[in-house]
Homo-oligomer: A and B are copies of this chain.
Amino acid sequence: MFTEIINNVKRKAPLVHNITNYVTVNDCANILLACGGSPIMADDVLEVEEITSICNSLVINIGTLNTRTIESMIKAGKKANELNHPVILDPVGAGASKLRTDTTSKLFKEIKFSVIRGNISEIKTVYEGSGSTKGVDADIADAVTDENLNETIEFAKALSEKTGAIIAITGAIDIVANSKTAYVIRNGHPMMSKTTGTGCMLTSVIGAFCAANEKNLLNATAASICAMGICGELAFEKTTKCNSGTSSFKMHLIDFMSKMDAQTLKAGAKIESK
């Protein structure tokens, strides 16, 4: 199934509107180009509706949330909903502050999301409206493990039922689910958490994959996560071979995304349906 999905991205070169944070924005733009999409970053309230109208999907990332852009997020989201563009949410640090948690709730009231991607702490906050998020990384107590895997899958399905969005919980083990079907993905490498922006980049890639595969969002999201995970594995291999470090790792990761194709994706994907 992944062959058609990734080929659609390359063929359609979808334009992805990002309202995102200033920490990882350059990496997000670069990985969008690398995977075959095209990025636009625009966050002023006076232009977001127009910009999103010429795009194929919208990614909202609250990584450096500020009061100036919340209204922009809502306006862009509503317009994207109107136009039936996929809208992806990355609730970075939801649970770490009232502003982030409240904004996440507010966004849910105003916008219908197609996909929500976060670590387990952030996703729990989305569910509960409160959380134990320790900054922008998942709380250790919150890790998805083989022991709580089934339970977490049920939780993801329930949240998907509740929100209507595909839920992507990423970490050592990744879960992607709608209300009925779930995938468990075991790609990736721990070094991905030693460079900033791997989560944000993944969310932007999901934006491109969903834009090019509007009828198949669950699989498009799963394919993005596998692709990113495989890039992480290959990047780790190369980093080790070159005896280099975490900054080289990030470069290799984006490099491998720019070379990702259907064959590498199919051969490398460690995905099972649950």
Contacts and interface: CB of A to CB of B under 8 A. Distances in A.
Interface of A: 15, 21-27, 29-30, 33-34, 38-47, 50-51, 54-55, 63-68, 93, 96-100, 134-137, 193-197, 244-248, 250-259
Given A67-B44, A247-B251, A26 B197 contact: yes
A96 B26 contact: no
A227 to B, nearest CB: 13
B55 A41 contact: no
A61 to B, nearest CB: 13
Nearest to A18: B23
A93 to B, nearest CB: 7
Contact of A47 (B23, B51, B99, B137): B99
A246 B250 contact: no
Contact of A247 (B50, B51, B137, B255): B255
18 contacts: A15-B134, A24-B29, A26-B27, A30-B196, A33-B196, A34-B247, A39-B196, A40-B96, A44-B64, A54-B135, A55-B135, A245-B255, A245-B256, A245-B257, A245-B258, A246-B254, A248-B255, A251-B251
B258 A194 contact: yes
Tell me how many chains of this kind the complex includes. Answer: 3
Contacts of A39: 136, 196
Contact of A33 (B29, B44, B195, B255): B195
Nearest to A36: B194
B23 A54 contact: no
B43 A66 contact: yes
Contacts of A50: 96-99
Contact of A21 (B41, B135, B253, B254): B41
Contacts of A24: 26, 29
Contact of A23 (B25, B244, B258): B25
A44 B251 contact: no
A43 B64 contact: yes
Contact of A258 (B46, B246, B253, B256): B246
Contacts of A253: 247
B250 A255 contact: no
Contact of A250 (B30, B65, B193, B244): B30
Most buried by B among A29, A66, A245: A245
Contacts of A26: 23-24, 26-27, 196-197
